[in-house]
A and B are shown apart, each in its own frame.
Chain A
């Protein structure tokens, strides 16, 4: 079926006029109608708008447009509800944004359009990107396509599920502490977090400004390279974006990883790791050796402190970023006798529990008398974590780890204890603190039930070409990426 193809495969058939962009969109819409009642990846989508865009792309193709000039030509790409798309709703899966409609396109959206992609849909997420299961969405929980009694991961759960269920050809998500890589691992697709500053954050609703990055969810590594190249680049409108040239990431995928040194950090192979995950990851590491890479044991000594540092820094930054949601200029409003009451009631009723918890935590650690003990200390620990990686990358070209300690857990299993939920991010968090890049790709399945397991590759800042090269070589020597969930609902 058309919607099951990768972007590369789709483009081959578009260019020969075997199919049209309209066909591609129709196949996604048909799939959504067939499965999304059970998967619930989409908060909304505008069918007419998507078909209009497809019509424009088909005209472009008819006038001779090529995939060289438009690298994402005809690809229907769905968007996490945290990115501004002009004329589309923007809610961050929260009630507080009410009926907000974006007045402009995020830079990444402009870039997707410029590359010939069709941008559609609002994908479900944890509210304001705070969560690891998509259970914190104010609207509903997305289901894991491999087992609908389980979570798809979070916060970009909708983005991962939609790709895994072939409801779109690719999607965009955001990653602050693992929110792309973890759901990609749990849903069995490829999820990449670029180096901090690689991709413009203009038009991304900010959660933690020094940690957030936008990244792609795709069905294979080649598509990930394609999408990364399309969205990367310096942007005047984001003063934290880096003026580093964007390489042709696809060109690096030659399958040859002989002699590359890959680090195995001993601190990541912990008692809490499920046997299915350690078996799959160990087998993958052996496979990397078969392919000619050299495995080197390394140490990232401050790994154990990353979660504590993150749960000070991220909420602190979030408490500042979410101060703008006050019911005055946009979104929902709960009236009050004076502005103070208006703010407090609007925010008290508009935000969900996890968001409120994090705002309170963040406010506390930044408050007078506590700033030094908490926030400043956490920023110093962040330096130690970053130095662990800098030292490691002197010895190795990339680092390999499991993406998550276990496969997807059941809906409701961890939602009572915030701390339990936080600890499921332990392998992904350090990467955001250090500013590095990371990718998760499928490396196997648990046996009973059959649930995807993800392999994580971490690279140095602007080391995406290296991690994609290794990911691609591994992927092509296995068939994990060709396996699809049984969507017979």
Chain B
């Protein structure tokens, strides 16, 4: 675990974040620093330790598969930045 493999431009692309050149430079440095601190966890012996994804012992919480009323379509569309015929409008995806 080290900051060596960390390329802010590549990761920002994965996260769909357009950064300015200033941000790229600043974040590369700041995050490199943070990754250096996080490497502390390498000091610990975690062999045989189960990971905790969830502090609480719940499994398979389900409900019966029955239709219930949900948010009306009009309400769901109310905050849409751009809509056409009750559909969210976006730039062309496929040529």
Question: Could you tell me which A residues sit within 8 Å of B by CB distance?
Answer: 98-101, 103-104, 196-197, 210, 236, 239-240, 242, 302, 304-305, 307-309, 311-312, 319, 323, 326-333, 335-345, 347-349, 351, 353, 356-357, 359-361, 363-364, 367, 369-370, 373-374, 376-384, 386, 418-419, 422, 433-435, 461
Contacts and interface: CB of A to CB of B under 8 A. Distances in A.
Contact of B37 (A197, A348, A380, A419): A419
B27 A329 contact: no
25 contacts: A104-B71, A196-B55, A210-B54, A308-B38, A311-B38, A319-B15, A329-B79, A329-B80, A341-B18, A341-B91, A342-B90, A344-B17, A348-B19, A348-B20, A349-B18, A357-B30, A359-B17, A361-B34, A367-B11, A377-B42, A379-B52, A379-B53, A380-B49, A381-B44, A384-B49
Contact of A327 (B20, B23, B81): B81
Contact of A369 (B5, B40, B81, B82): B5
Contacts of B27: 353, 356-357, 360
A6 B6 CA distance: 51
Contacts of B88: 328-329
Contact of A335 (B11, B63, B91): B91
Nearest to A345: B18
Contacts of B8: 360
A435 B58 CA distance: 13
By CB atoms of chain B within 10 A, which of A103, A196, A384 has the most?
A103
Interface residues of B, number: 55
Interface in B1-54: 1, 5-6, 8, 11-20, 23, 26-27, 30-31, 33-35, 37-44, 46, 49-54
B18 to A, nearest CB: 3
B81 A331 contact: yes
B91 A360 contact: no
A119 to B, nearest CB: 19
A99 B12 CA distance: 26
A340 B16 contact: yes
A347 B20 CA distance: 12
A364 B17 CA distance: 13
B51 A383 contact: yes
B81 A348 contact: no
A359 B14 CA distance: 10
A435 B55 contact: yes
Contacts of A384: 44, 46, 49
A308 B40 contact: yes
A242 B88 CA distance: 36
A199 to B, nearest CB: 13
Contacts of A347: 15-18
Given A240-B58, A356-B23, A210 B53 contact: yes
A145 B23 CA distance: 33
